[in-house]
Structure 1
Amino acid sequence: MTALGFLYPGHSAEDDYPRIEQLLGSDIRVDLVHTDIGEDAHRVDALLEMGSAWLAAGVQELRHAGADAVVWACTSGSFVYGRDGAQEQVRALAQTAGMPASSTSFAFAHAVQELGARRVAIGATYPDDVAQLFAEFLRADGVEVVSVKSSGIITAAEVGTWGEAELLALARHSDHPDAEALLLPDTALHTAAHIPTLEKELGKPVLTANQVTVWEALRLADRRVNAPELGALFTREPIVQA
């Protein structure tokens, strides 16, 4: 049994995780611990606060549950620190947890590399200034960002109410003909049930926050799972060639 641990801020799209667990197979367990979101706002100051206050809460619970790896399941609460700050955040988490650790921001960077994609587009629910910080984070990791579209939504609570229609609209609006993959970077967004539909609609890989977060935990635990219902990232062969 491989146990994957996640620190998830607040309550928005956490039901993506048991759904993903069902698609991965019976020998993988997903353990989710909620952290205090503080002020629910996609503002830089609120995100910096959320990203600094979560560390101790929940880590011991995941250790006692026997997690093999832990991921901070928050994109904006990691990339807002910049690449170096996000790396220090992960380093501190690993030290505290006593196990391999990462965050959703690094999960995106690693997933893009896994697919062999060189150019990506971003479809963010965040305000534009926050969305641009995610683009900067990816560029610092060597990813070419060809387009950034933002929806200007302030709260995770509002994002959590979006269904398939809003998700598809975001994807269509955010795609770019030069992009080899589309990234949707908000763990408050329900996506686990819709990834095949998104990829069929766009004709390219789509990376979503909760999807890449679980994939990153599997990578840290040295597990590789073939789960086509979770999109191109979870097939055994990359469909984009470098």
Structure 2
Amino acid sequence: MIRRCKLGVLVPSSNITMEYELYKMAPDGVSIHFSRIPQTEDTEEQLAAMIDYVPQAAELLAHARVDAIAFGCTSGSFIKGVGYDKQIIESIQQNTGIPATTTTTAVLEALDLMGLKKISVGAPYTDPIMQKLKKLLEENGFKITKIKGLGLLKGEGDLPIDETYKLVREIDTPESDGIFISCTDFKTVEILELLEEDLGKPVVSSNQATMWKLLRLSGLKTKIRGFGALLREF
């Protein structure tokens, strides 16, 4: 098999969803390699502490000569507000010399590129984290038509995908241009096409956006079917 590119991801140590979903979306010839960062609960303290582990974890990925690196935690890359994702990217690039992104960066770019200005937002987070997510999106120019979190500090990866589907149906509003499902440990990719068919609008998820951005950073612009409009059309 031809090796088209190698992608690197820094993933929270408790995350059991992101690796599976990224590999499920990966085109032929694309390999994905992971470093894990300590994080067991979605508390503000643990999320903020993740950046301390970024240099070493990113350096280990650089040993595999990956073409691009993503910090694969949504809340961990917006916990300190607008611009915090750029700090994480700078840390990765300074320590590796490899193009980098974060899940938050990828999501913001994807929503903007798709022209989704009025969005409904769902996530497994507690209220304090949901408020930070709402503020981040609003400060980046998005209007939130409805937002809901499930109140979980941990264990979101164990939720059945039916819970994701029910949450998205609940947050959808007639005036929203699209849906954003946040959290890389929240199952999404297997129902993105179904949700878009049922709702008649684009659905962006953290893992889907991360894959999209990593491929673009690595120089691949291949279109991928089966995982929503973002990967299929943009």
Same fold? TM cut 0.5:
yes
Higher mean alpha-carbon deviation, 199-208 vs 65-74, is at 199-208
User: Which residue is 1:31 aligned to?
Assistant: 33
Indicate whether 1:152 and 2:151 are aligned. Answer: yes
Deviations 1:176-220 (A, max 9, x none): 221111111110112222211222222211111111111111122
CA distance in 2, matches of 1:148, 1:46: 23
Confirm or deny: 8 A CA contact 1:35 1:57 kept in the other structure.
no
Q: What TM-score, normalized to structure 1?
A: 0.89
Amino acid aligned to 1:5: G
Alignment of 1:92-103 (within 5 A): 92-103=91-102
The aligned length equals 229
Cα distance, 1:57 vs structure 2:
3.2
Deviation for aligned residue 1:33: 2.0
Alignment counterpart, residue 21 of structure 2, candidates 13, 16, 34: 16
Report the RMSD for the aligned CA atoms in angstroms.
Answer: 1.5
Shift of 1:12: 1.9
- Displacement of 1:68 in angstroms is 1.0
Who is 2:174 aligned against? 177
Q: TM-score, normalised by structure 2?
A: 0.92
Match of 1:42 in 2: 42
Alignment of 1:161-200 (within 5 A): 161-200=158-197
Are the aligned partners of 2:193 and 2:226 in contact in 1 as well (CA < 8 Å)? yes
CA distance in 2, matches of 1:86, 1:161: 27
Which structure 2 segments of 5+ residues have no match?
none
| Corresponding residue of 2:8 | 5
Is 1:196–1:230's contact at 8 Å kept on the other side of the alignment? yes
CA contact (8 A) 1:114 1:233 kept: no
- 1:69 paired to 2:64: no
- The answer (yes or no) to whether the contact 1:184–1:207 under 8 Å persists in 2 is yes
* Larger RCO of the pair (alpha carbons < 8 Å, separation 6+): 1
Question: Once the 2 structures are TM-superposed, how far is the Cα of residue 56 of structure 1 from its aligned partner?
Answer: 2.4
In the alignment, the residues of structure 2 paired with residue 179 and residue 54 of structure 1 have an alpha-carbon distance, to the nearest angstrom, of 37
Query: Residues of 1 paired with 2:191 and 2:35: CA distance?
Result: 24
Aligned to 1:130: 129
Q: Check the 8 A contact 2:55/2:91 in 1, yes or no.
A: no
Work out the CA distance in 1 between the residues paired with 2:233 and 2:194. 19
CA distance in 1: counterparts of 2:133 and 2:112, whole angstroms: 16
* TM-aligned CA deviation for residue 97 of structure 1: 2.0
Q: How far, CA to CA, are the matches of 1:92 and 1:56 in structure 2? A: 6
Aligned to 1:240: none
Q: Separation in 2 of the partners of 1:17 and 1:233?
A: 14
Q: Deviations over 1:96-142 (max 9, x none)?
A: 12111111111110010121212111101101220121121122222
Structure 1: how far apart are the matches of 2:83 and 2:206?
20
Unmatched 5+ stretches in structure 1: 238-242
Of all paired residues, the percent bearing the same amino acid is 27
Structure 2 Cα separation of the partners of residues 89 and 140 of structure 1: 19
